[in-house]
Structure 1
Amino acid sequence: MNTKYFDLINQTFYFPQEEFTLNKDNLMFHNIDLMKLVEQYGTPLKFTYLPQISNNINKAKGWFRNAMEKHKYEGDYYYCYCTKSSHFEYVMNEAFKNNIHIETSSAFDINIVEKLLETGKINKKTNIICNGFKRDQYVENIARLLNNGHKNTIPIIDNYEELDLLQEQIKGKFQIGIRIASEEEPKFEFYTSRLGIGYKNILPFYRKTIAENPKVELKMLHFFINTGIRDTAYYWNELGKCLKVYTNLKKECPTLNSLNIGGGFPIKNSLSFDYDYAYMVDEIINQIKMACDEAEVDVPNIFTEFGSFTVGESGGAIYKVLYQKQQNDREKWNMIDSSFITTLPDTWAINKRFIMLAVNRWNDSYERVLLGGLTCDSDDYYNSEQNWNAIYLPKFNKEKPLYIGFFNTGAYQETIGGQGGIHHCLIPQPKHILIDRDENGILATEVFSDQQTADDVLKILGYTNNKQTNNKE
């Protein structure tokens, strides 16, 4: 009878897979022995496998290059990294090895851009696409970047007031884009995205404020929908409406030469994940070319802003099962040595699922369990794996420690969880390591941040701060 954990995985999914293999009883991730990491660094442990960032960037570049060659598409392709997915320097350092561009979301992003320029990670040829709702500090920072000579900075107009705010502070002529406020899927609680300007209002806005404006040059139309790039009637319908706006605008605006289709490539969240990236890119390029040919206008350069796709599949977390609680005749709780609220907040906040697998003991028999975190919050749990609506793991055995891994967690979790901050029930932030390979493929690891100590937490809370007082006589 097939009762081993390996048998369960093997008969449920295609296994092994590109990034997941086995070494006897232990799980390998990109040929990294995860149990060796556990032995060296302990748990709980977060890790970032840096080469995967470059791998995904270059995959996407290849898909767009092949589609453009196939359809004899005469525009260029620009890969932008969406910084809000992860602002960390180690992510930027790896991403910008690949001749890409950057998309910003808020004021402090511009300070990061300036640091990248200072250190030579990016240069004056790098396009800086400035998205988001812009208030005083963001506008001031964008203006500073342009006034200091970075002419490839393109603020994307999100509302009618922003253009005036920018013109007040930017010296000389500058380029802009306009974001389309896409219509949302029927399941949403609202009809139109809060971001951007409505389809029907873009051409009148251009005629009124941009067409005769000697200081502004419209370069880009920006399009993005919340559900991402998916092969659905909704996506293709919204793309079609966007292309209608683009071709009509292009006929009146000769400087318009770029279409930004935003982000939205999904990442692998299950061993049964099935998404044909090459087909989607091919069809997008085909649709854009057909629309432009029919309207008899030049095809635009294509910009994308992939964030989660860039960094998500580089991240992971490993926990130890500390104890098993049998709460009734049906429910067994495996308690991990950390908190989901602290380390994987999307599992708690938006019920997101990541790939979850046992790290060791694959040749042991399995059982159905629930996973609980260390906080005293009833919401600190993880209770279902994609496709199963349950979690199956090797049977708990106090004499044989069990370790479990969550994979493709590299986007948003550190920033939402608050790297280096205060966490729910004061559960400490785990140790985080960076994993890289040298030019010969030799693995190298380094500690990015140690697990928080009591002193770290008490300092943030104010208990050990050196408080200064001014005593006036």
Structure 2
Amino acid sequence: MNTKYIDLINQTFDFPQEEFKLEEKQLQFHDIDLMGLVETYGAPLKFTYLPQISNNINKAKGWFAKAIKNNKYKGKYHYCYCTKSSHFKHVLNEALKNDIHIETSSAFDIDIVENLKKEGKITDETFVISNGFKRAQYVTNIARLINNGHKNAIPIIDNYEEIDLLSQEIEGKFNVGIRIASEEEPKFEFYTSRLGIGYKNIVPFYKNQIQNNKKVKLKMLHFFINTGIRDNAYYWNELQKCLKVYTSLRKICPSLDSLNIGGGFPIKNSLAFEFDYEYMVDEIINQIKLACEEEEVPVPNIFTEFGSFTVGESGGAIYEVLYQKQQNDREKWNMINSSFITTLPDTWAINKRFILLPINRWNDTYERVLLGGLTCDSDDYYNSEQHMNAIYLPKYNKEKPLYLGFFNTGAYQETIGGFGGLQHCLIPSPKHVLIDKDDEGNITTSLFSEQQKSEDLLKILGYQN
């Protein structure tokens, strides 16, 4: 009988996969010995596999290079990393090895940019695309960056007042972009994004505030879809509307030479995940070229802003199953030694699913379970995978520890969870380990942060000086 966990996986998916395989009946992720990681650092722990950041950047750059060549597209391509996905220095250091650019979303982002410039990681030639609703400190920081000589800084205008606010603090001429307020998917509670300026209002806005303004030059139109780049009618329809705005604007604005198709690629969230990235890139380039040819305007340079795609697939979390509670005839709760709310907040906040696999015991029989976190909150649980309506794991055995891995968790979880701060029910943040490769290609590990101690939390709460 095929009753082992490995049998379940083999029957359900193509396995092994590019990043997952078994070695001596234990799971490996990009050739990382995960049980060895647990034996060295303990669990719970989080890890970041830095080489995957460069891998994904170069995959995307390759897709765009191929599409530009195949379509004989005359514009250039620029890859931007959205810092909001993960602001950590080790992430930026790895990403910036690959000749990329930066997208910012708040005032303190500019401080990070200036720090990177001091260290020589970026230069004045690096594009810094500044999105977000801008008020005092953000405007001041953008102005300081431009006034200090960073001419490739492009603030993206989000509302009608921002040009005046920027003009008051920026010395001399500066470039801007305009963000389109795209229409949201039908399932949203509102029709139009709160960010940017409406399709119909962009050309009048340009004529009123930019066309005759000798200080300001429009360089970029920014198109962002909240749900990201998807092969569906909604995405293609919004792209077509965006291209109508671009071609109309380009006819009266010769300085407009760039189109930013922000809104990222999806990342793998299941062993059954399928997405034809190469086709999507080729079709986007093709649609842009066709629209420009039809309206007889030059094609734009293409910018993308990939955050989750850049860093998401580099991250993982490992937990130990502490105990199993049989709450009724059907429901078995495997209790992990951490909290989903605090360490993977997207599972709680937006019902996001990550790849979940056991690290060990793949040759044991399996059972259907629910996963519970340590907090006393009824929402601290994880109950299903996207490919099925339940979780199946090796059977709980008090004498045989079971370790679970959640994968592709590298985007947003630390910032949303409040890294280094208070956690729900004062559950401590786990250790965080950085994983890299040396010049010979050998896996190396280093401890980035220790698990929080009670003193750390008591100090934040005011109980200790």
Q: Same fold by TM-score, threshold 0.5 exceeded? A: yes
Superposed, 1:435-450 pairs within 5 Å as: 435-450=435-450
For 2:186 and 2:375, the matched residues in 1 are separated by 37
Partner of 2:359: 359
Q: What residue in structure 2 maps to residue 256 of structure 1?
A: 256
Look up the match of 2:36: 36
Please name the residue that 2:85 is paired with: 85
1:263 positional shift: 2.6
In the TM superposition, what whole-angstrom CA distance separates every residue of 1:10-59 from its partner, at most 9, and x where no partner exists? Answer: 11011100000001210000011100000000000100000000000000
Equivalent residues in 2 for 1:152-163, closer than 5 Å: 152-163=152-163
For 2:231 and 2:340, how far apart are their aligned partners in 1?
32
Q: Deviations over 1:274-294 (max 9, x none)?
A: 000000000000000000011
In the TM superposition, residue 462 of structure 1 has moved relative to its aligned partner by 1.1
Residue of structure 2 equivalent to 1:106: 106
Residue 224 of structure 2 aligns to a residue whose secondary structure is: coil
**Partner Cα separation in structure 2 for residue 337 and residue 305 of structure 1:** 36
Determine the structure 1 residue equivalent to 2:336. 336
**How far did residue 186 of structure 1 move?**
1.1
SS state of the match for residue 261, structure 1?
Answer: strand
Residue number in structure 2 paired with 1:471: none
Partner in structure 2 of residue 232 of structure 1: 232
2:142 aligned with 1:146: no
- The alpha carbon displacement at 1:208 in A equals 1.0
- Structure 1 residue 320 displacement after superposition: 0.3
**Gapped runs of 5+ residues in structure 2?**
none
1:187, distance to aligned residue in structure 2 (A)? 1.0
TM superposition score normalised by structure 1? 0.98
Q: Compute the displacement of 1:438 (Å).
A: 1.2
Instruction: State the Cα distance separating 1:385 from its structure 2 match.
Output: 1.1
Report deviation, 1:151: 0.6
CA offset digits 1:420-445 (Å, max 9, x no partner):
10101110100000000012101110
Paired residue type of 1:120: G
Give the partner amino acid of 2:313: E
SS in 2 for 1:84: helix
Q: Which amino acid aligns with 2:419?
A: Q
Identity %: 78
- In structure 2, the residue corresponding to 1:190 is in which secondary structure? coil
| Counterpart AA for 1:273 | F
Letter in 2 for 1:325: K
CA–CA distance in structure 2, aligned partners of residues 458 and 213 of structure 1: 54
Q: Which residue of 2 aligns with 1:380?
A: 380
**Aligned position for 1:413:** 413
Structure 1 regions of 5+ residues with no counterpart?
Answer: 466-473
Cα shift at 1:85? 0.3
Mapped partners of 1:375, 1:236: distance in 2: 43
SS in 2 for 1:230: coil
Q: CA deviation at 1:305?
A: 0.4
Counterpart AA for 2:350? I
Structure 1 residue aligned with 2:97:
97
* 1:293 and 2:293 correspond: yes
- Asked if 1 retains the 8 angstrom alpha-carbon contact of 2:81 and 2:310, the reply is yes
CA distance in 2, matches of 1:29, 1:18: 9
Q: Which amino acid aligns with 1:101?
A: H
1:384-403 mapped onto 2 (5 Å cutoff): 384-403=384-403
Residue 305 of structure 2 is matched in structure 1 by 305
Residue 279 of structure 1: aligned partner: 279
Deviation for aligned residue 1:455: 1.1
Residue 209 (structure 1) shift: 1.0
1:134 maps onto 2:160 in alignment: no
Q: Distance in 2 between matches of 1:189 and 1:113?
A: 35
Partner of 1:453: 453
Give 1:342 shift: 1.0
* 1:60-104 deviation line (CA, Å, top 9, x unaligned): 000000000000001000000001000000100000000000000
Q: Tell me how far apart the structure 2 counterparts of residues 389 and 117 of structure 1 sit (CA, whole Å).
A: 48
Q: Shift of the alpha carbon at 1:463? A: 1.1
Distance 1:388 1:334 in 2: 18
In 2: Cα distance, 1:209 partner to 1:429 partner: 48
What code does the residue aligned with 1:86 have?
S
The alpha-carbon deviation at position 459 of structure 1 amounts to 1.1
> Could you tell me the TM-score, scaled by structure 2's length?
1.00
Counterpart in the other structure of 1:469:
none
2:317–2:406 contact (8 Å) kept in structure 1: yes
- The answer to whether the 8 Å contact 2:435/2:446 transfers is yes
CA distance in 2 between counterparts of 1:451 and 1:359 reads: 21
The answer to whether the 8 Å contact 2:227/2:263 transfers is: no
2:115 matched residue in structure 1: 115
Query: Displaced runs of 4+ in structure 1, greater than 4 A?
Result: none
RMSD over aligned Cα atoms: 0.5
Partner amino acid, structure 1, of 2:145: L
Residue type matched to 1:181 in 2? Answer: A
**3-state SS, counterpart of residue 262 of structure 2:** coil
Q: Work out the CA distance in 2 between the residues paired with 1:344 and 1:165.
A: 38
Separation in 1, partners of 2:121, 2:332? 50
SS at match of 1:223: strand
The residue aligned with 1:468 is: none
Aligned to 2:48: 48
Distance between the aligned counterparts of 2:111 and 2:362, measured in 1? 47
- One-letter identity of the residue aligned with 1:310: T
Matched to 2:431, the amino acid is K
Shift of 1:377: 0.7
Instruction: Report the alpha carbon displacement of residue 264 of structure 1 after superposing the two structures with TM.
Output: 1.8
The separation in 2 between residues aligned to 1:342 and 1:184, in whole angstroms, is 29
Deviation at 1:356, TM superposition (A): 0.2
